[in-house]
Amino acid sequence: KKILVTGGSGQLGQCLKKISKDFSQFEFAFTDSNTLDITNATQVQDYFSDFKPDFCVNAAAYTAVDLAEKESELAFRINAEGVSNLAKACSEIGAVLVQISTDYVFDGETNLPYDEEDFTNPQGVYGKSKREGEILALEENPKTVVIRTSWLYSEFSKNFVKTMLTLFAQKEILGIVNDQFGQPTNANDLAQAIMKIILSENIEPGILHFSNYPETTWFHFAQKIAEYSKSKIKLNPITTSEFPTPAKRPARSTMCLDKIEKDYDIELKHWENSLEE
């Protein structure tokens, strides 16, 4: 069987590429915005009629949460229209679409921890565009699995852990937000979970939540990163109002992970364990 990974040059895409050699029963194709622009419907159709994937993992996205407030049109073009192009192409050939989404579809004010059916109310343009992508992915392809994840980090691309390590080397003291709660997730663990779902015989269409656990704040997460990297940095807890950003983020977007654990027998991991590596 064949797996197409769009966004192959991104953080999750690179994690999937790294483990693809352990799944030699599949033929993989990894694309980026140069080799397959998901916003170009004709290009998507041509690619699908040629490669005919059985699974498409869409790891391609507009991920600049703050910049999205200014570039709304582009964010929606990639995170909604682009997803729709992939969903339609999957539907035509009966392929499964694994669409990656985010905890930022929630407002962070109610019903914690969020389960898959909870009310969504994205606060910023990025979250809104990702929610629109979820809806289109599910509506336009009967075989879509949406996986919402949160606070991704890994050895690849730009992410919070890497930003902290750079700042720790440059500064002696640093204020980190301590009133936003979420669950950090090693993108390598997400990649393994995606492969486990693909390998399962019975893929149920719908939404799943996957992250590492338990919930923490950016400040506490940064403290652990400092500890593991043996940094001498002095970290201060600050509030969101002391560190204003263009995009509003949910104050607490912790997701319930029971469904993916039960339905696909996926082992949940403490985020601190993967920080050690």
Which range binds ligand NDP by CB under 6 A, 2-10, 172-180, 223-231, 255-263? 2-10
Question: How far, CA to CA in Å, does 182 sit from each of 20, 221, 222?
Answer: 29, 10, 13
Q: How far is the CB of 276 from ligand NDP (least distance, A)?
A: 20
Answer for which of 2, 18, 26, 32 binds ligand NDP (CB under 6 A) is 32
- For residue 99, the surrounding DSSP H or E stretch is strand 96-102
The C-alpha atoms of residue 237 and residue 179 are separated, in whole angstroms, by: 9
Answer for which of 76, 106, 151, 168 binds ligand NDP (CB under 6 A) is 151
Q: Which residues are catalytic?
A: 126
Which range binds ligand NDP by CB under 6 A, 27-35, 169-177, 235-243, 265-273? 27-35
The C-alpha atoms of residue 33 and residue 71 are separated, in whole angstroms, by: 17
**Is 84 among the residues that bind ligand NDP (CB under 6 A)?**
no
Q: What is the CA radius of gyration of the chain?
A: 18
The C-alpha atoms of residue 184 and residue 272 are separated, in whole angstroms, by: 9
The C-alpha atoms of residue 161 and residue 224 are separated, in whole angstroms, by: 10
Answer for which of 4, 44, 48, 82 binds ligand NDP (CB under 6 A) is 82
* Site for ligand NDP, residues 115 to 134, rule: CB under 6 A: 130
Q: Is 12 or 232 the residue whose CB approaches ligand NDP more closely?
A: 12
* Site for ligand NDP, residues 156 to 215, rule: CB under 6 A: 157
Q: In the chain, count H helices and then E strands.
A: 10, 12
Which range binds ligand NDP by CB under 6 A, 30-38, 107-115, 134-142, 259-267? 30-38
**Nearest in space to 126 (alpha carbons), one of 99, 101, 149, 158:** 101
Binding site for ligand NDP (CB under 6 A): 6-7, 9-13, 32-34, 36-39, 59-61, 63, 78, 82, 100, 102, 130, 149-152, 157
